[in-house]
């Protein structure tokens, strides 16, 4: 007997089309370097230092023995941790896919930096910066996606989930006015949907308008 395959976990990458995954990764990686380029240019202008491509694609500038190295580390954390988390929430919007995309972005950056400099980064500050950036991106991305997933859903212009005490109070008032109008017309008050019977006595139609009902007093079982 053939062994049954284990079903993939919910939200796994296998449920998404490969071309869509590649397109999303490409867009996120492009945004990663565009934001990094803008931040590095702004930082170089503020610091009065010349801008070079090594600030974006190099690793030796991110070091812990000078102020500029700490400043560049903060810029990379701002780019990869905060900006990429916002981009992932906007493009992916699935909390279970956030770690895959966030780690892929930083892994591709490691490959690009290694190819550009022809060496693997050797400063501990660079590795610490990328680790903090990836962790922050995952944490903020998961939180943002879950917050977005828990937002009320609209269907036909009506909020499905409760919108607060105001909506509940309005619904209660509308139900009360409907019951009062029914009593004036000779109809019994509306029943409770969960209990399945009407409040009051007499004959009438159910809330759905189908079938008649009658209140019957239950007799206790004989001893």
Do 98 and 92 form a contact (C-beta atoms < 8 A)?
A: yes
Paired with 212 in beta bridges are 205
Indicate whether 154 pLDDT > 90: no
Mean pLDDT, rounded, of the chain:
77
Across the range 4-28, mean pLDDT stands at: 73
Indicate whether 127 pLDDT > 60: yes
**Residue 109 covered by a domain:** yes
**Residue 220 covered by a domain:** no
C-alpha to C-alpha distance for 195 and 204, rounded to whole angstroms: 16
Which positions ≥6 away from 22 have C-beta within 8 Å?
A: none
**Residue 185 covered by a domain:** no
**Residue 45 covered by a domain:** yes
Domain that holds residue 132: 15-149
In the chain, the percentage of residues whose pLDDT exceeds 90 is 46
Convert the pLDDT of each residue in 155-204 to its tens digit.
555 444 444 444 444 555 555 555 555 545 555 555 444 444 444 444 44
Q: Within a 13 Å sphere around the CA of 107, how many CA atoms are in the beta-carbon half?
A: 7
Confidence of residue 102 (pLDDT cuts 50, 70, 90): very high
CA 136, 138, 144, 147 torsion-angle sign:
negative
**Residue 37 covered by a domain:** yes
Across the range 13-28, mean pLDDT stands at: 82
pLDDT at residue 15 in the model: 57
Paired with 155 in beta bridges are 158
Indicate whether 39 pLDDT > 70: yes
Do 190 and 181 form a contact (C-beta atoms < 8 A)?
A: no
SS3 90: helix
**Residue 107 covered by a domain:** yes
Do 32 and 84 form a contact (C-beta atoms < 8 A)?
A: yes
**Residue 122 covered by a domain:** yes
> 4 in the Ramachandran plot: left (φ > 0), alpha (ψ -120 to 50) or beta?
beta
Paired with 158 in beta bridges are 155
Number of domains in the chain: 1
**Residue 3 covered by a domain:** no
> Who has greater pLDDT, 93 or 186?
93
Closest CA to 47 of 55, 196, 175: 55
Q: What is the dihedral of CA 72, 78, 81, 83, to 10 degrees?
A: -130
Which positions ≥6 away from 140 have C-beta within 8 Å?
A: 81, 82, 85, 86
Question: In this predicted structure, which of 75-79, 125-129, 143-147, 210-214 has the lowest mean pLDDT?
Answer: 210-214
Across the range 7-32, mean pLDDT stands at: 78
Confidence of residue 105 (pLDDT cuts 50, 70, 90): very high
């Amino acid at each position: 007997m053939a062994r049954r395959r284990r079903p993939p976990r919910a939200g796994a990458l296998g449920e998404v089309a490969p071309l869509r995954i590649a397109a999303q990764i490409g867009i996120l990686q492009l945004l990663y370097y565009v934001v990094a380029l803008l931040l590095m240019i702004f930082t170089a202008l503020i610091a009065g230092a010349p801008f070079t491509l090594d600030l974006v694609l190099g690793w030796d500038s991110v070091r812990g023995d000078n102020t500029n190295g700490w400043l560049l580390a903060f810029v990379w954390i701002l780019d990869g941790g905060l900006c990429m988390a916002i981009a992932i929430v906007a493009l992916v919007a699935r909390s279970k896919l956030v770690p895959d995309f966030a780690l892929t972005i930083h892994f591709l950056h490691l490959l690009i930096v290694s190819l550009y400099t022809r060496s693997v980064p050797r400063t501990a500050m660079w590795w610490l910066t990328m680790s903090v950036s990836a962790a922050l991106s995952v944490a903020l991305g998961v939180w943002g996606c879950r917050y977005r997933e828990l937002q009320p859903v609209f269907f036909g212009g009506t909020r499905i989930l409760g919108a607060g005490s105001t909506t509940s109070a309005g619904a209660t008032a509308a139900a009360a006015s409907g019951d009062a109008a029914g009593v004036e017309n000779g109809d019994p008050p509306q029943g409770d949907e969960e209990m399945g019977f009407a409040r009051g006595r007499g004959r009438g139609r159910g809330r759905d308008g189908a079938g008649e009902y009658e209140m019957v007093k239950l007799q206790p079982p004989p001893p």
